[in-house]
Amino acid sequence: MTRAALVDPTSEPQPRDAVTPAPLESLAGRKVALVKNAWPSWHRMVNRLGTLLADREDGVATEQHLVPNGSAADPEQLMLIAGSADAAVVGLANCGSCTAWSHHDAAVLASLGLPVVLVVTSEFTSLVDALADSSGIRLPTVTIETNPETVAEATALNLLEGAYPAIVDALTKPVTTAGRAGNGPVTVAPALRYVDADDAVDRCHELGWTDGLPVVPPTARRVDAMLAELGDPGDVVAPMPPSGAPVTNRALAANAVMAGCLPTHLPVLAAIVRAVCVPEFNLNGIATTTGPSTPFVVTGGPAAARAGLHAGRGALGPGWRANASIGRALRLLIANVGGARPGEVSKSIMGQPGRYSMCIAENEAQSPWEPLRATLGLDGDRSAVTVLGATGTMNVLTPRSDVDAMLTLLADSLAYLGNPNVVMGRGTVGVLITPGHAAAMARAGLTKADVSAEIWARSSIPIERFPASAHPDAPYEFVLHDGRVYPVAGPERIYVIVVGGPEPTHATVVPSHPSCFPVTVPVT
């Protein structure tokens, strides 16, 4: 029997200081911060919690603080809460990204010395546990057994009253699971698993290393060949959310092997990792959301050509090794290092095919305009990757030569009531047009900025079309002008990208994860 040595593609979380604020002896005479995100039921429950505290605890004062659902609270706001309150109740952890960010915000408050309790619904307690395991930060939690958004208001308030004693206990009694430190140092030497070579692919599945598709076994020989292009195995490319574990060169190489990458793909892959790990990109939210969001990578410059990334016909796949393998390597890293495995930390309700791989090169050679990287401020000679948070793709069939109609149809494809960008008033969308579309628009005298401006101006929806229940919940709000709702804040939030075959017919619109900000990083 031939044995194969497989390199473990995972990374351990970096050591962290224990989060162990001492509980209060009692709440009497104390100020309690009630931190609420956008769930309407939680707003009402927080009001009832404030009333209960005032009625049942001697001299308690409360203050309410509003934070977003799917992104981090403002750090200055958390500092203010920690400086003005004696304890905090944080919630409601009732979806994927809101659970991840509620856990994050509660951990920040705890690190600032504030006794804190995280309120979570039963569907997402497993996510809290997984976040605690992957991040090394475990907090006092109280579970609401039923999603309060699915029951009558009176029932939701009864759920809060039932949880009240546990909330008080979490703030005033020691919790043995709170404050567990990190899971150990970064593993620098390759962690090898010896398996039967004939069973190597099956073992990768059994170990949870795959995305559900077969992988190239990450043998020591293959990983070492990748490391020859990267350097020291223990060097850290970036800490990856949601776990915060480091993407070491070893982990990058192992996951790249499994995805089918070549050594020439590594500079682009490393740049993508650096980009998605920038906090503003909000990989923490994208990786854990109940939505279908995924990173969408647009590469430009000489590095795209060196890597073999395809920008022409069929660029979104299938058929192109670099596009498929580089995008897939990122997905494997998000699961194996970031810890966002489906059903555990990744709570996407349906997912989407783009979560396997969504990586293209911009068709700069056939574009009449400057490339995206130049539009975003980089020197035109520098290679770069831009990452957006995509919720999916929408095909748009346009007229072949009527530029005015092209712009109207592209705008209309963004102007639908259920577009998360519309409903939450945030995000940056991608509009993928062919070289044929771009040439027709340029002949009509339009710059790329003109195209973005025209699409934005035509993309609004009369506010009266929205049912009352479809209006955004605070702190989110419509982008509203003259009684019309727009999908994004302005034309600068519409990225026009030239890609694909020459025909000016099929275009693709890419709505975005609302709480994601695109990030552009040079390829080095």
pLDDT (tens place) for every residue of the chain, 524 residues total: 688 899 999 987 665 655 678 899 999 999 999 999 999 999 999 999 999 999 999 999 999 999 988 888 899 999 999 999 999 999 999 999 999 999 999 999 999 999 999 999 999 998 898 888 767 788 999 999 999 999 999 999 999 999 999 999 999 998 654 333 333 334 444 578 888 888 999 999 999 999 999 999 999 999 999 999 999 999 999 999 998 899 999 999 999 999 999 999 999 999 999 999 999 999 999 999 999 999 999 999 999 999 999 999 999 999 999 999 999 999 999 999 999 999 888 999 999 999 999 999 999 999 999 999 999 999 878 999 999 999 999 999 999 999 999 999 999 999 999 999 999 889 999 999 999 999 999 999 999 999 999 999 999 999 999 999 999 988 889 999 999 999 999 999 999 999 999 999 999 999 999 999 999 999 99
* CA trace torsion 96, 99, 102, 104 (10° rounding): -80
Q: Do residue 324 and residue 374 come from a single domain?
A: no
Q: Do residue 200 and residue 340 come from a single domain?
A: yes
Q: Do residue 276 and residue 328 come from a single domain?
A: yes
Q: Do residue 465 and residue 323 come from a single domain?
A: no
Output the pLDDT for position 137.
80
Q: Which residues contact 476 (CB under 8 A, 6 or more apart)?
A: 38, 68, 69, 423, 424, 425, 426, 514
Q: Classify residue 472 by its DSSP letter.
A: P
Q: Which two tokens stand for residue 68?
A: 């977003």
**15 belongs to a structural domain:** no
Q: Do residue 166 and residue 220 come from a single domain?
A: no
* CA trace torsion 44, 48, 53, 59 (10° rounding): 90
Q: Which helix (H) or strand (E) holds 97?
A: helix 96-111
Q: Do residue 207 and residue 139 come from a single domain?
A: no
The parent domain of residue 398 ranges over: 362-524
Q: Which two tokens stand for residue 330?
A: 């990122």
b (16+ CB within 10 A) / e for 269-278: bbbbbbbbbb
Q: Which two tokens stand for residue 11?
A: 């990374």
Closest CA to 392 of 449, 354, 342: 354
77-93 pLDDT, tens digit per residue, is: 999 999 999 999 999 99
What string of DSSP letters covers 186-227?
PP-S--EEEEEGGGHHHHHHHTT-SSSS-----BHHHHHHHH
Q: Do residue 216 and residue 247 come from a single domain?
A: yes
Q: How many domains, in total, are found in the chain?
A: 3
Closest CA to 68 of 37, 102, 99: 37
The residue among 108, 139, 172 that closes a domain is: 172
Q: Do residue 344 and residue 407 come from a single domain?
A: no
457-477 pLDDT, tens digit per residue, is: 999 999 999 999 999 988 889
pTM, rounded to two decimals: 0.91
Q: Do residue 235 and residue 119 come from a single domain?
A: no
**235 belongs to a structural domain:** yes
Q: Do residue 90 and residue 63 come from a single domain?
A: yes
Q: Which residue has the tokens 């302005």?
A: 490
Q: Do residue 164 and residue 219 come from a single domain?
A: no
Q: Do residue 329 and residue 374 come from a single domain?
A: no
